Amino acid sequence: MKRAGFSHRWLPILFLVPQLAIIFVFFYWPALHAIRSSFFLQDPFGFGENFVGLKNYTAMFKSAAYMRSAWFTVIFTVLVTVLSLSIALLLAVKADKVIRGAKTYRTLLMWAYAVAPPVAGVIGLVLFDQSWGPIKDFVALFGWDFRLGVNYFDTAFAMIFVSVWKQLPVNFIFFMSGLQSIPKSVREAALIDNRSASGRFWDVTFPLLAPTGFFLLITNITYALFDTFGIIDTIVKGKPGNNPMTLVYKVYVDGFRGNDLGGSSAQSVVLMILVLALTVFQFRLVERRIHYT
């Protein structure tokens, strides 16, 4: 609060009411409701519910389908994060270095930020189409018989490919702004000290980009967990079947389609705990964040 702030009895309350009302109705109420439902077993026809304690949770962790989905989510998240971060870093370093056409490259590499995930999914469907998909044709040259939506591994590959593609612009933009905040004097000093470009990158640029990198790491994990929903839903065409699915997609499938409210709520609560842990981790990193400038 500002020292010279206003004192007024009801005006600040009036200003806070819209935000607080929306938050209570559409945030706290549903979040608490999810936690409560996770301890109950609902009647599928809407006739009441029974308290079952932790049964929804134990059933969940014992379920082979849930554990398979959990493992897929872990592998998916790691691959999407690592691939999109490293490709974006390479492109950002090069775009920061070149003089000619720098602005054009920047625009060309960041516009796809605005592409909605389901549209990225549609692009995936075309690229990997069974009869004439360009990437499917290309990998066929190496004897890879690509079957999207049929083969578990192939479908996972397409999901990861599209998810990485969609996340590249975000990472590129943040790495670019990180690179541009490195002071010119530091760059010049590095140029004198170190003749080799790769040496300069690893000794000077990379450590200076570490705060951006940590921040992006959390952002990318959150993206892979939650924002890829539209990509996955489009690629499996709304028919998950035996296809790979992330935990968020499973919450939706079990709860919304399968009407297993208790089980789905238990899954939601596990995801909440996961996000909370990530955010706490992120806040601690931000606190310790080192500024060189």
203-232 binders of other proteins (CB under 8 A) = 215, 219, 222, 226, 229-230
What gap in Å lies between CA 189 and CA 195, rounded to an integer?
A: 11
Q: Report in angstroms the alpha-carbon separations of 26 from 15, 29, 230, 261, 265.
A: 18, 6, 22, 18, 16
Among the listed ranges 42-50, 62-70, 117-125, 201-209, the one in contact with other proteins (CB under 8 A) is 117-125
Least distance (Å) from other proteins to the CB of residue 187?
16
- Cβ(88)–Cβ(168) below 8 Å: yes
Closest by CA position to 275, among listed 21, 30, 31, 29: 31
Sign of CA dihedral 69, 254, 274, 221: positive
Q: Which of 71, 78, 94, 144 binds other proteins (CB under 8 A)?
A: 94
- Cβ(266)–Cβ(60) below 8 Å: yes
Q: Which of 86, 275, 284, 292 binds other proteins (CB under 8 A)?
A: 275
**101 belongs to the binding site for other proteins (CB under 8 A):** yes
CB atoms within 10 A of CB 72: 20
Residue 42: phi and psi, rounded to 5, are -90, 145
Least distance (Å) from other proteins to the CB of residue 120?
8
**75 belongs to the binding site for other proteins (CB under 8 A):** no
Site for other proteins in 235-264 (CB under 8 A): 237-238, 248, 251-252, 255-256, 261, 264
Site for other proteins in 11-70 (CB under 8 A): 11-13, 15-16, 18-20, 22-23, 25-27, 29-31, 33-34, 37
**202 belongs to the binding site for other proteins (CB under 8 A):** no
**86 belongs to the binding site for other proteins (CB under 8 A):** no
CB atoms within 10 A of CB 89: 22
